[in-house]
Amino acid sequence: MAISLNLLQLQANPARPKFLKWNPVRPAVYFRAPARSTVVMSQITPSYWATINEDIEDHLRQVIPAKDPPAVFEPLGHFIFSAPRNSAPALCIAACELVGGRRDKAMAAATALQLIHAATYTREYPPLTAREISRAAVVDRIYGANIQLLTGDAIAPIVFEILAGSCDWSESGSERVQHVMVEMARAMGTEGWVGGQFRGLEEEATAEEVSEKTEGGLHACGGACGAILGGGSEEEIEKMRKYGKLVGMVKGLSKNVFGGKENERKREKIEEFKVLAFKVLEGFKGEKVHEIYGFLDFEGL
């Protein structure tokens, strides 16, 4: 029984946006991705991360449909491409290569991770699901809250459609993709990002607890899935999961560090996690280990 994946058939053509026909004002917004310079994650070896992020960006544009009706697909494209780039997808590719896998093996998973981030980012609409009002300034307000929430809901199933269509399921290795699907479902749901959002609604929640489940969970998933798809051993998979979690928490805590006592504590935690993350990489060999260290030298995103 042939599985035809619409998403893959209806590829967006970045050179000539299809939406141009209907609304000449919006395409510039629709296809406005963050400048690539903001996606470079390491100051030491920009070229490695830059090539990974370029490949992910290209793949994302290939699999996201630009089709009718514009009322649905225009906001879908807008929110997917205007969401800030997350570093978990790049870590997924790097983990795959670290354990000896080919980059393309982890590309669908990396794209799926960026979509999970775009979905959660789109849904975190300030008046309802985020505590800080400051976020309101970050989110583009071209569309109403109803369209924004529906679009977030629409992005999530695409994650699994892409994963399900990413391999020939009669071949060996397809059980790896099954494993990745379960990992991704957890990183999205109550044990992952949504769980972190729930925690964030509680008054006594600390930034550490929230970032453990949100950025920590997504990066842990990225590291583990990359190692799974690259054919890593059980030990390598768990090491990459742990490394990802620590890196994700560093990234989560690094947001909004300005000064003050609470921030002093955050800075200490960040340094502590960096040391732990460094230790996790012990035992890995080859030039790729140096590349993956690069994640630790980067505080922003």
**8 A C-beta contact, residue 250 and residue 212:** no
Q: Is 174 in the site for a second copy (CB under 8 A)?
A: yes
Structure tokens at 295: 């994640």
Pick one of 191, 264, 268, 297: the residue that binds a second copy (CB under 8 A). 191
Shortest CB 149 distance to a second copy, Å = 6
What is the phi-psi region of residue 129: left when phi exceeds 0, alpha when psi lies from -120 to 50, beta otherwise?
alpha
Does the footprint of a second copy cover residue 143 (CB under 8 A)? no
* Residue that the structure tokens 């930034």 belong to: 207
What would the two tokens of residue 144 be?
């109403």
Residue pair 39/87 in contact (Cβ under 8 Å)? The answer is no
Binding residues for a second copy, how many (CB under 8 A)? 54
Minimum distance from CB of 181 to a second copy (Å)? 4
Q: Figure out which of the listed residues 198, 238, 257, 293 binds a second copy, where binding follows CB under 8 A.
A: 198
Check binding of 208 to a second copy (CB under 8 A): no
Q: Which of 20, 29, 142, 154 touches a second copy by CB under 8 A?
A: 154
Instruction: Considering only the C-alpha atoms of the chain, give the largest distance between any 2 of them, rounded to a whole number of Å.
Output: 61
Using the contact rule CB under 8 A, the part of the chain among 26-34, 38-46, 90-98, 145-153 near a second copy is 145-153
Considering only residues 44 through 83, tell me which ones interact with a second copy, judged by CB under 8 A.
Answer: 69, 71-73, 76
Of 201, 58, 77, 196, nearest in space to 140 by CA: 77
Tokens matching residue 233:
């051993």
Closest CB to a second copy among residues 161, 299: 161
Q: Are the C-beta atoms of residues 198 and 130 closer than 8 Å to each other?
A: no
C-beta separation of 89 from 221 below 8 A: no
Contacts with a second copy, residue ranges (CB under 8 A): 1, 3, 5-6, 69, 71-73, 76, 120, 123, 128-129, 145-147, 149-150, 152-154, 156-158, 160-161, 164-165, 169-170, 174-176, 178-179, 181-182, 184-186, 188-191, 194-195, 197-199, 201-202, 228, 234, 237
